[in-house]
Every structure is written in C-alpha cells, then in structure tokens.
Structure 1
Amino acid sequence: MKDYSTISVEQEGAVDWLTLNRPDRLNALDATMVCELWDYFQGLQSDYSRRIVVLRGAGKAFCAGLDLVWFNTAKEKMPRGATDKGPGPSLSDIVLSMRSCPQVIISLVHGAACGGGFNFALASDIRIAGRSARMNVAFVKLGLSGCELGTSYFLPRTVGASVAAELMMTGRFIHADRALATGLVSEVVDDDQLEATARALIGDLLAASPTGLRKTKETMARASGMDDLAAVIALEEHTQTMCMQASDFTQTVAAFGEVKAERV
C-alpha cells in the first residue's frame, strides 16, 4: 500500500478499510487529502482483487467537508484574480471515481458529514449511520448553490424530491433517525457497533460471486439513468448473460444443487 498521510488503508482479504485520517480537523478536506483519495479510487478502477471498500472517519466525525482554514490560507497565497481551480484532481473527480469503481463502497457515518463529506456518503453504495451522525448540504450555507458534487443527482433519488429540496435549500442537518426513515441510510446503530455491523454486511456481500457483485453495482448505476422499463429489462438480461458466462456462476449453481439434494 502507498504511504498516504491524510488517509489510511488497511487490507483484509478482498476488503479495504479506508479511513479519513485528519481527526484534529474532523477529517476536513485539504488539497493533500483530495489528491490521496483520488489516487486511491483511481487505483481501484481495474483492481478486481479488491471487492469491498469500507469508508469511515477517524476521531469524532466522518468528514466535516472542506477545510476552510486551509482554503482561506491557500487562497491568500494565490495571485490576484486566480481561482482555486488547479491542475490537480477535484472533489468531483473523487465522486465520479467512487461511482465508476467496481467495488461496493460502504460508508460508516458518525458525527458530522458535511458538504463534500456528505457527498462521499451519498456516492457510496450502502450507508450505515451511527447514532451521532448528522449530515448536511453545507454549500448553501456558504452562499453557494446547494447543487454541487452530484447532490442534485443523488439526494432526490435517495430521499425523494421534497426532502431533498428541504435539505439542499436550507442546509439543515439530518440526523440518524430521520436519515433511516427517509431511506438515506440502511441502518442506524450505536457508534461503537459500526464496525461490527459492517463486518456482518461484508460477510453477506462476499457470499455473492465477484462477478455478480460488480455487475449489480454497474447495472444499478446505468438503470438509474433510464426511464424505459423495456430498456432496463434488456440491460438486466444482457448483464445476466454475462454473469452466466463467468465460471463462478457454473460453480455456484452446481454447489447449490448439491446442497439442495442433500436436504431432500
């Protein structure tokens, strides 16, 4: 593994435990963390040995969003008339890389998940919240639009148009219980049970075939942008054909048949 300074990655078999590791700044995003996260997710794009990524934050929070202290200091050093758009990767690049990588991404959200941190959770496939979780669209609080980094894509599809509009137009925090009620997260547990809950979920995910898991994520993403049911079914049938051609499908069916015969 690379020697990152603002994130840490622990490998357990086919699972990566990715921790945002600036706890003294509530894991707020600076240029180094943006570059390291982009480098990490870019490295996953064709690495099929990694099947699951668990994303979490060190310390008291998941991610407090952009580090405004760093941002203001960096901005002061820019030439007059310059912008913060540099040649390096952006937060948008990270979100796109998260969605395009073949691995299932599980976010374990505790404490604050604001702005870009909230978008990392939204870009994940599965979100589990600790009871301390509080998430918000911070951009509108800064005098910007509430539409950034895919928020207007992810949030209405996840919680519905009305709740999304409320959160995006006000910057209000949504806490764990309401996040569960609106479908923003799939489960709420005590903070100290987040890892154990993730491990139970990982066990079920790893029970699926590697090909089936990858193709499920890929097909769900493509189907979310389609309005025609017939086209979605055609896409699904094409995906199933590809999965059936994979060797693990034949092995799984054979094993399932043996178990069923034993039970009879």
Structure 2
Amino acid sequence: MSFIVVERPRENVALVTLNRPERMNAMAFDVMVPFRESLEAISNDNSVRAVVITGAGRGFSSGADQTSAGSPPHIDGLTRPTVALRAMEMLDDVVLTLRRMHQPVIAAINGAAIGGGFCLSLASDIRLAAPEAYFRAAGINNGLTASELGLSYLLPRAIGSSRAFEIMLTGRDIDADEAARIGLVSRIVAGEDLLEEAFDLAQRIAMFSRPGIELTKRTLWSSLDASSMSQHMNQEGLGQLMIRLMTDNFEEATLARREKRDPVFRDTR
C-alpha cells in the first residue's frame, strides 16, 4: 500500500493524497518522506500548473503519529539528540517544500487538521474546508508548546495575532464555520463536492500566465517577511515589469477582451 497517492484528475492539475486513513494520515516518517519527495517531483513537473492536497478517509492529517512514527532517514550512528534534530529538520522541510513549490497549492481539508496537519494546511496557498473539517494546535494539549513546524509564524499572519494567541494557548478546536468566519479557510464546500471545487479552482489558476502565477505566489509569500511597504513594492514592480517587457501577455489579454474570448498566454514574445 502506498501512503502517498499522486493522480492527475484534470489537465495541468496534480492531486496528492495522504493515504493512511486508518491512522488519520498521521505524520509518520514513512508517510512524510514520500510526501516530500512527491511534492519535489511535482514542483519540477512543468506539465503541472496547480496542485491539490488532501487526506484519505475522515481526516486531512492528525499530526504526529503517537504510536508508530518510525525513524527519519540517514541516522545510522547518530545518538538520540541528533536523531531528534534530524527528525525535526525533515518535518520542517516538508512545510518549507509546500511553500516553495513553483505551483500554487490548494489544501482540500476534508476532516481533522491537528498539530502538524494544521501546519500543512497553513503552508498551502489556498484552503477549502468540508463542513467536517476542524483545526487544533495540539501541542499545548500534550504538555508541549503549541509552536511547531512554522505554526506560530503562519497562524498570526493568516488570522491576526490575538486570535492566534488564543487558539494556540487554549488548544481548542476551530470548526469549519469559525475557520471560514476568521479567514483561516477561503470557504466551506460540501464534502462530496470538495475535490471537484478544488479542481475547478486549480484549473482556473492554470489558465493564466505561468510566470505571472509563479511570481504572484512568490510575492504574496515574501510580503509576509517584507521589512517595509516600499521595499515590497519594489519587488512587485520588478516582477510586473519583467513579464510586461519579456512577453506579449498584456497585448494578448487586451486583444482577447476585444474579441470576447479567453486569452492564450504564450509567456514569450
């Protein structure tokens, strides 16, 4: 049985499914290592223009596997402290891999997104939720910190600091309705329609210019780290100028509107 299933449900769209439903797609290393490898391969697949990730069964991902997490790779001869460091580094890299993928990533959150699973959803670019979805920063409930895998960085930027502090310090669940109300997810979609809605969204994104989409994703993420608005506006302007000067996309969009058709972007001159 493969713990990661990669499919191509629509043209230019890849679907990546965490496929260990009996463990609520927990983040054991035998799941996360192939997940990261699959994401890296898809990022370099130029036929893929948008990516959807989801979980099999009732959950998106329940976070750390508390029963059988396995071991990270390449740890022969290492002692426990170093193994722990390598394990955390490997899990961190899964979240960073999602963030740096060339294509936009849509999380179709079908159920529980707990702990590290919460982090996976936040590292995605767009989040859609089924009514059954819920989120929990679980570390605090387990006698640890609620900060892991970038959660304390990503959550305040997604929903604001006060809400993030309360959610992380209390360990309470956020159901789908609240998640939509506070902007944690874009919208709620009936469970049976969740993937089709995600595929429709992915295909709409795939219609546009490839460098336009890639630069927009990069610019949105870099805005979270920008030290000033003027610095960030410089980056925005350079991206806009690059595509405007190096492609005929703007002329094609103008012509397509005049001819009442969809544009076909060549991304070149």
For normalisation by structure 1, the TM-score amounts to: 0.88
1:85 correspondence with 2:84: yes
1:144 matched residue in structure 2: 144
Q: Judge conservation of contact 2:26–2:64 (CA < 8 Å) in 1.
A: yes
Output the amino acid matched with 1:192: E
Output the amino acid matched with 2:93: D
Q: Which runs of 5+ in 2 are unaligned?
A: 262-269
Aligned equivalents of 1:50 and 1:199: distance in 2? 12
2:53 matched residue in structure 1: 55
Aligned equivalents of 2:226 and 2:71: distance in 1? 41
Aligned equivalents of 1:167 and 1:216: distance in 2? 29
2:242 matched residue in structure 1: 242
Output the amino acid matched with 2:252: Q
1:221 correspondence with 2:221: yes
SS in 2 for 1:8: strand
State the Cα distance separating 1:176 from its structure 2 match. Answer: 0.3
Q: Which runs of 5+ in 1 are unaligned?
A: none
Q: Counterparts in 2 of 1:1-264, with a 5 A limit?
A: 5-11=2-8, 12-71=10-69, 82-83=80-81, 84-85=83-84, 90-244=90-244, 245-259=246-260
Aligned equivalents of 1:66 and 1:104: distance in 2? 25
Aligned equivalents of 2:133 and 2:242: distance in 1? 39
Aligned residues: percent identity? 35
Q: Judge conservation of contact 2:52–2:202 (CA < 8 Å) in 1.
A: no
State the Cα distance separating 1:197 from its structure 2 match. Answer: 1.7
For normalisation by structure 2, the TM-score amounts to: 0.87
CA RMSD of aligned residues (A): 2.4
Output the amino acid matched with 1:206: A
Q: Deviations over 1:199-225 (max 9, x none)?
A: 332232123222211111011111221
The 1:219–1:80 alpha-carbon spacing in structure 2 relative to 1, beyond 3 Å, is closer
- The alignment of Structure 1 onto Structure 2 pairs a total of residues equal to 254
Output the amino acid matched with 2:162: S
My pick for the range that moved more, 249-258 or 223-232, is 249-258
Aligned equivalents of 1:162 and 1:119: distance in 2? 18
